Amino acid sequence: MNPPHPDPLPQGEREAKKEVIKEDIMKVLVSDNISPKGVEILKKGGLDVDVKTGLKPEELKAIIGEYDGLVVRSATKATAEIIEAAKNLKVIGRAGSGLDNVDKVAATKRGIVVMNTPGGNTVTTAEHTIALLFSMARQVPQATASMKQGKWEKKKFMGVELYNKTLGIIGLGNIGSHVAKIAMGMGMNIVTYDPYLSEEKAKTLGVKVVSLDELIKTSDFITLHIPMTNETKNMINEKTLGMMKDGVRIINASRGGIVDEKALYDALKSGKVAAAALDVFEKEPPGEAPLLELDNFICTPHLGASTEDAQENVALAVADQIVDYLVNGTIRNAVNFPSLSADVLSVVQPYINLAERMGTFLVQNFDGGMKQVVIEYRGEVSKLNYAPVTIAVLKGLLTPILLETVNFVNAPMIAKERGIEVKEITTDEAGDYLSTIIIRVKSDGKESSVAGILHGKKYPRIIAVDDFIVEVVPEGELLVCANNDKPGVIGGIGSVLGKNNINIARMQFGRESQGGKSISVVSVDTPVSKELLEELKKLPNILSVKQIHLPA
């Protein structure tokens, strides 16, 4: 037997070496409950893992500086203040799709990758919607409660069949599509409203695409599967409820705030709405909400994604992604960074930022679904690896529609699933600029475009909207006003905004010709209410007003 090989390092140096190796190990904090299998993946990946759940904000802030990675679900709030204290943080991983609890802007400024697990909750949320649908139609919770009180009230709990009834699905993304498949298997007639769904995709799913008004007026049951945005807030309100069939039944397992709870209460109380089932609320938990007092209202405490299967799926997925990034440097399912090597990313990142903002601007300024997207690269940008820039365009176009469910990894797949054709055109000539990107979207005879450049090779600028030459800083809250080029238009806009205490940061103008059509792009410090938008639309010579939300 050979003698042990002598250690060439003295004892003190050997201990110091061990300490250095220990310090080089990346540390990850799991601050919400996830499947133990996910924690095991992190440890097997060579990471030092601490599981500390239920931390108060001040407790999290005090320790977050020690960690390279943070794994959350929905309880932990990764606010700007927490992120500022996270001196070593490189990645935040959400075991789930929603990212309302993560300040993505603050994270991006710090260079922190924000990842989620889109699709992991699709089946379980769709199935919960169907569970609510059955429970509501047959009054299962109410009948159960009655029997547990020793009663036998067969006549009281008369239900309705689902077969041959019309189910209106608002939003036909992954979850809405799965709900449609299940409901069609039960013999229901499906109508859907999704302004961004192509007719070809609708045909493959076997659903009928209708206007929002038609869906609201003709559906026996209505289920919501859309993100919470300024446009969808209180979409189900006193007016839309009044347009519905008498005895309609409503389900919301998407986001709180899409249904005006006061208006729903009144409609349930009057009998206009026969029943409603909510899994999500404006305020969670809702406390002593009036809705909870009604017999024809059933509810669950945000259980859409709460199955053992789904929670294990998202835990395993986020753990794999965290290990891939911290150990191997590979980015997957990031909502704020594309999957690129550092050297390539440093060159094309300014164009990625520009392209995403252009796409987000364009889709909010365009009416209807997209059938085709044409991206033209002119000048120096055409010689770069522009593939990630194209992905950024798609992400920008889809984000206002799908929010956190779209990222730099799945944007091309989602575009394909929605029947959107993507074309790329390159040319060496860029006119007066070193590089120009032009994006055109087309659908059913309609077309809209936007052109953009980098000012000083870094700062994004939009230089044309459709046929109008206009320089726009694409950030924050914007109002795009189409108008006739007549005296008093600018003054009218300024007057309405001023009297409503809305400060104008910038105004840019473009016109076809003197006295012809023109546009005014107004940058404001705060979002404009729907009521104020309607007031602006009524001004003389105003043809349309669109509110556009862009990152700061």
Question: Shortest CA distance to 446 belongs to which of 370, 512, 363, 355?
Answer: 370
Q: Which of 13, 284, 293, 447 is catalytic?
A: 284
Determine how β-strand 248-252 pairs with β-strand 273-278: parallel
81's tokens:
């203040």
Q: Cβ distance 172 to 197 under 8 Å?
A: yes
* Cβ atoms of 547 and 528 closer than 8 Å: yes
For residue 338, what are its two tokens? 């594309």
551 vs 156: CA distance, rounded Å:
53
CB count within 10 Å of CB 161 equals 11
Which residue in this structure is represented by tokens 């017999």? Answer: 295
Lookup result for tokens 């697990």: 117
| 344's tokens | 């390539």
Beta strands in 428-531 (DSSP E): 435-443, 446-455, 459-465, 468-472, 477-484, 504-511, 517-524
Choice among 73, 94, 249, 302 that is catalytic: 302
Q: Which of 61, 71, 67, 74 is nearest to 90 (CA)?
A: 67
Give the pairing type, strands 459-465 and 446-455: antiparallel
Q: In the annotation, is 332 catalytic?
A: no
Polymer length of the chain: 552
DSSP state for residue 7 in the 8-state scheme:
P
| DSSP 3-state of 26 | coil
Catalytic annotation, pick one of 225, 255, 357, 511: 255
Q: Tell me, what amino acid is at 159?
A: G
Distance (Å, whole) CA 33 – CA 47: 18
Q: Find the angle CA(526)-CA(196)-CA(95) to the nearest 5 degrees.
A: 75
- Is 128 part of the annotated catalytic residue set? no
Tokens found for residue 481: 């006003």
Structure tokens at 30: 């799991």
The one-character DSSP state at 4 is: P
Tokens 């601007």 label which residue? 361
Tracing tokens 């979002």 back to the chain, one arrives at 527
CB 50 within 8 A of CB 28: yes
Residue pair 290/296 in contact by the 8 Å Cβ criterion: no
Residue with tokens 């300040």: 103
| Helix residue ranges, H only, 378-450 | 387-402, 411-417
Instruction: Please say whether the beta carbons of 250 and 237 come within 8 A.
Output: no
255 is catalytic: yes
Q: Are 316 and 38 in contact (CB under 8 A)?
A: yes
Q: What are the catalytic residues?
A: 255, 284, 302
